[in-house]
Amino acid sequence: MKKIKFILIYFLMAFIIIMSVSSCTQQAPKKPAPTSDEPKEMPKVVEEIESEIISIMSEVDMIPYYEKQIQEKLKKNKEKKELSIKMGMTSQSDSSQSQEGNGQQEGTEKKEAGEIDKLVEFEPKPITINDILLSEILESETQKIKGSNTQEIPNHIDFIWDKINKKIRELHKKWNSLESDVIKSGVSQEPVMGFEKTLNNLTISANNYNFLDTLVYSNKLTSYIPDLVENFKKKFPTPIYYMKYYLRQTVLACKIKDYNSASSNYSKLNIYKDALVSQLVDKKLTELANKLNTSIKDLEDSLLLKDLNVIKIKASVVMSNIQLVKEELSKQ
């Protein structure tokens, strides 16, 4: 019996020693692989799409200004042509009487052409707040430094719309790049189909040179972005996307004097503002929260005035504050 007991103790000790040596020779445990539930980084093409949409809106917003200046340019060109014909007839009459050489006649024609250019010179007028609708807001959003207050004026509006349509074609390509990633992330079909349908409507509107519809559909595209990126890691809170959309939509409604729609969009803007302010207060960013609150209240007061230019100015201030919030929260 003692012999059996001894053998059992021997084997038990041998087993313990073997296990101890084995554990010492094992490598350090590897870090656990990220679980499938962990959200992926947001694709870079999302920012590219948003930037492209804003660029399209900026180009479209200039259409009324270009149309007005093109008409003025055509008018000046017509006056120049008529004056050139009159001066040309005088020149021919003088030439036949004097019987002077061709060289002198060419010099006279060049001189007369220079005089005509001075007499009937086309100079683009400065861009004023009356010429634009969303440009002030879009500049605040992109923090774009204002350049020259005048633009090079083409001979026909087709050139501007062609530029816009090229940007829209690029947007289709970028959307194609993002769409599969969005579907893989598991979002519902509603925002995917909504973006696709709105992009097609935007394309049709731009091809038909429809100014306001092109702006509205461009802005509508931005309303789908927060839902499309719902399952990705985000650099800043979702309410920021919605605030920018409803802010621009408020101004667009005021353009057609639909103040009921403007009020409705403002109310939705305010709801998302409250959610954002709550986050700012939690992060001790009370000064920024107060600035945002104040600018939103000023926008509300401007809606009561029903003056489009005042509304545009107040909306651009709100957008500047939204961008400040976005930058600050991106650092967190």
Query: 83 in a domain, yes or no?
Result: yes
My answer on whether 125 and 263 are in the same domain is no
Task: Indicate the SS3 state at residue 28.
Answer: coil
- In tens digits, what is the pLDDT along the chain, a chain of 332 residues? 444 444 444 454 554 444 544 444 444 444 444 455 678 999 999 999 999 999 999 999 999 999 999 999 998 888 878 777 776 644 444 444 554 555 555 555 555 556 666 666 788 999 999 999 999 999 999 876 555 566 789 999 999 999 999 999 999 999 999 999 999 999 999 999 999 999 999 999 999 999 999 999 999 999 999 999 999 998 889 999 999 999 999 999 999 999 999 999 999 999 999 999 999 999 999 999 999 999 999 999 999 999 999 999 999 999 999 999 999 998 87
Strands 40-41, 232-233: parallel, antiparallel or unpaired by DSSP? Answer: parallel
In a domain, 150, yes or no: no
Same domain, yes or no: 174 and 234: yes
pTM (2 decimals)?
A: 0.81
Per-residue DSSP letter, 120: T
State the pLDDT at residue 27: 46
181/290 same-domain check: yes
Q: What is the pLDDT of residue 297?
A: 98
> Cα angle vertex 237, ends 255, 219, to 5°?
25
177 lies in the same domain as 229: yes
Chain centroid offset of residue 258 CA:
24
Residue 173 lies in a domain: yes
Pairwise CA distance, residues 280 & 307, whole Å: 31
**What confidence score (pLDDT) does residue 114 get?**
60
- How far is residue 120 from each of residues 117, 156, 203, 299, measured CA to CA in Å? 5, 19, 39, 44
Q: Which two tokens stand for residue 231?
A: 């399952």
Answer yes or no: are the C-beta atoms of 206 and 158 closer than 8 Å. no
Does one domain contain both 286 and 177?
yes
310 and 185 in a single domain? The answer is: yes
If asked whether residues 215 and 304 sit together in one domain, one would say: yes
Residue 135 confidence (pLDDT): 96
Q: What is the pLDDT of residue 122?
A: 83
Into how many domains does the chain fold?
A: 2
**Model pLDDT, residue 143:** 74
Q: Give bridge partners of residue 40 from the DSSP assignment.
A: 232
* Same domain for 229 and 117: no
CA separation for the pair 83, 114 (Å, rounded) = 12
Q: 3-state class of 232 per DSSP?
A: strand
Are 116 and 236 part of one and the same domain? no
If residue 287 lies in a helix (H) or strand (E), which one and from where to where?
helix 286-305
Query: Could you identify the residue written with the tokens 């700012």?
Result: 280
**Same domain, residue pair 162 and 103:** no
Report the alpha-carbon distance of residue 315 to residue 299 in Å, rounded.
6
The residue range of the domain holding 260 is: 157-331
Quick one: 163 and 259 in the same domain?
Answer: yes
228 lies in a domain?
yes
